[in-house]
């Protein structure tokens, strides 16, 4: 009897979520919008002689521009994997081999990263969004090798004394951050877990360092209320935590929206890969403080302590990352919590899909109103490729 009652409640909550989905967003229609914008971009990228420079990746579009600013695929540019990733997602949605061909050509421009020493932790973003999606959809053996080789390269940044990856070697001296680990780095544990499952002689090592990184981050890179520091600085001799500071947020003690978004996505992924319930429990706290402070439309201010709230810029990229993560996380949480997280994700996607955030004819990106690096004064209130990538990923999770 009790079981029948529970099943009835579960069924009602599932029905209420799917009717909510139907009423509020139409993922297939939104994916068709993405496909249309992608084809407009591809046509813009073609020069007069019909060729595309496949080493130049669409990155951002500032407010007064109508076409992508493209950046060269070099080791210092962290965003270059997202455009090939968007193309792979579009191929997944449309099954159009023309899109697949374009995805392959842009992806190939990143292969050099698997053959050079690590520049920083962004190797994970660069290779897993491009080659990772490419392998998932094609099973090409050469792609698999590039992902595994890159995971081995990323692992060279792991410091066993500290127990985490050195995210930014370049910031060690100028900022006196002897060992720095940024919250974004949580995302790049995924390529380590993947390589640990897919071959190579260092499988156990890759898994162990990913877990060590997650554990140390969980212990030191959050305040008691579960808001996160963008950067944790550690002592390289003792391995001890020295301080938590910001790089892209408003202040050292504020919650930078995209940092918290990376944490939500990252710990959801670590739970998926380890099935250790401590991560599932932890990530719910990280989500709950974010949701508690979130504006009603589901799109965060770029930093939750931005001094000019409610006029502060929003960050659509953080909303897209969180929406995608919550759709996955809700699947691990049967019952009211999972239902709540799914509803919140759908609300975020509904706002992102509305004219307030959609680029439409204005330019060829999907979304407007993201903030890249406010303290540096770069990428403020722009369309940015990683917002589009996670928006499309979230839509595909509903497809």
C-alpha to C-alpha distance for 327 and 322, rounded to whole angstroms: 9
Taking the CA atoms of 361, 362, 363 and 369 in sequence, report the sign of the dihedral they define.
negative
C-alpha to C-alpha distance for 394 and 51, rounded to whole angstroms: 31
Count of C-beta atoms within a 10 Å radius of residue 286: 21
Least distance from C-beta 184 to ligand GLY, angstroms?
4
First-to-last CA distance in the chain?
Answer: 35
C-alpha to C-alpha distance for 68 and 66, rounded to whole angstroms: 7
Q: Which residues contact 382 (CB under 8 A, 6 or more apart)?
A: 60, 61, 62, 63, 368, 370, 371, 372
In the complex with ligand GLY, which residue's Cβ is closer, 56 or 387?
387
**Which residue number is nearest to ligand GLY in terms of Cβ?**
184
Which residue in the block uniquely carries the two structure tokens 């520049």? Answer: 119
In the complex with ligand GLY, which residue's Cβ is closer, 329 or 387?
387
Count of C-beta atoms within a 10 Å radius of residue 313: 17
Least distance from C-beta 80 to ligand GLY, angstroms?
13
Least distance from C-beta 289 to ligand GLY, angstroms?
19
In the complex with ligand GLY, which residue's Cβ is closer, 183 or 233?
183
In the complex with ligand GLY, which residue's Cβ is closer, 93 or 312?
312
Catalytic residue among 30, 184, 315, 388: 184
Least distance from C-beta 108 to ligand GLY, angstroms?
23
Distances (CA, A) of 369 to 249, 315, 322: 17, 6, 16
C-alpha to C-alpha distance for 202 and 188, rounded to whole angstroms: 17
According to DSSP, the residues that pair with 245 across neighbouring strands are 231
In the complex with ligand GLY, which residue's Cβ is closer, 184 or 344?
184
Distances (CA, A) of 177 to 182, 236, 283: 11, 10, 27
Stated as kind and residue range, the H or E segment containing 277 is helix 277-293
In the complex with ligand GLY, which residue's Cβ is closer, 114 or 260?
260
Least distance from C-beta 378 to ligand GLY, angstroms?
10
Complete DSSP assignment for 216-232? HHHHHSB-TTS-B-SEE
Closest CA relative to residue 14, chosen from 342, 349, 268: 342
C-alpha to C-alpha distance for 312 and 349, rounded to whole angstroms: 20
In the complex with ligand GLY, which residue's Cβ is closer, 184 or 303?
184
Catalytic residue among 35, 122, 303, 388: 122
Least distance from C-beta 292 to ligand GLY, angstroms?
22
Least distance from C-beta 186 to ligand GLY, angstroms?
11
In the complex with ligand GLY, which residue's Cβ is closer, 90 or 184?
184
Annotated catalytic residue 122: yes
Q: Which residues contact 290 (CB under 8 A, 6 or more apart)?
A: 255, 260, 261, 264, 300, 322
- Residue numbers at the binding site for ligand GLY (CB under 6 A): 78, 184, 248, 258, 372
Helices (H), 25-161: 27-45, 82-94, 97-108, 123-127, 133-138, 141-155
Least distance from C-beta 294 to ligand GLY, angstroms?
18
Q: Is 303 helix (H, G, I), strand (E, B) or coil?
A: strand
Q: Which residues are catalytic?
A: 122, 184
């Amino acid at each position: 009897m009790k079981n029948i009652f529970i099943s009835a409640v579960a069924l009602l909550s599932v029905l209420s979520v799917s009717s909510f989905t139907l009423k509020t967003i139409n993922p297939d229609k939104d994916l068709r919008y993405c496909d249309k914008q992608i084809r407009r971009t591809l046509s813009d990228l073609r020069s007069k002689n019909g060729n595309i420079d496949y080493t130049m990746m669409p990155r951002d579009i500032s407010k007064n521009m109508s076409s992508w600013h493209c950046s060269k695929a070099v080791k210092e540019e962290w965003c270059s994997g997202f455009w090939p990733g968007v193309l792979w997602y579009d191929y997944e949605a449309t099954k159009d081999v023309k899109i697949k061909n374009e995805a392959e050509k842009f992806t190939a421009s990143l292969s050099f990263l698997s053959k050079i020493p690590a520049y920083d932790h962004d190797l994970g973003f660069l290779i897993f969004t491009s080659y990772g999606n490419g392998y998932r959809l094609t099973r090409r053996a050469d792609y698999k090798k590039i992902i595994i080789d890159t995971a081995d390269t990323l692992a060279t940044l792991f410091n066993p004394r500290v127990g985490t990856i050195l995210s930014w070697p370049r910031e060690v001296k100028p900022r006196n951050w002897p060992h720095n680990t940024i919250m974004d780095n949580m995302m790049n544990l995924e390529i380590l877990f993947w390589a640990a499952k897919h071959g190579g002689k260092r499988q156990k090592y890759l898994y162990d360092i990913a877990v060590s990184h997650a554990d140390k981050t969980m212990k030191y890179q959050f305040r008691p209320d579960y808001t996160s520091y963008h950067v944790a600085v550690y002592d390289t001799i003792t391995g001890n935590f020295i301080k938590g500071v910001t790089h892209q947020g408003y202040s050292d003690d504020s919650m930078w929206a995209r940092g918290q978004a990376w944490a939500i996505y990252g710990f959801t992924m670590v739970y998926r890969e380890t099935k250790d319930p401590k991560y599932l429990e932890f990530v719910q706290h990280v989500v709950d403080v974010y949701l508690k402070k979130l504006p009603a439309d589901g799109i965060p201010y770029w930093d939750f302590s931005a001094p000019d709230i409610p006029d502060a810029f929003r960050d659509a990229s953080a909303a897209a990352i969180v929406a995608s993560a919550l759709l996955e996380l809700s699947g691990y949480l049967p019952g009211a919590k999972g239902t709540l997280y799914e509803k919140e994700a759908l609300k975020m996607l509904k706002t992102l899909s509305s004219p307030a955030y959609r680029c439409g004819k204005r330019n060829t990106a999907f979304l407007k109103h993201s903030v890249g690096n406010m303290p540096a004064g770069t990428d403020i209130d722009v369309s940015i490729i990683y917002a589009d990538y996670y928006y499309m990923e979230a839509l595909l999770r509903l497809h």
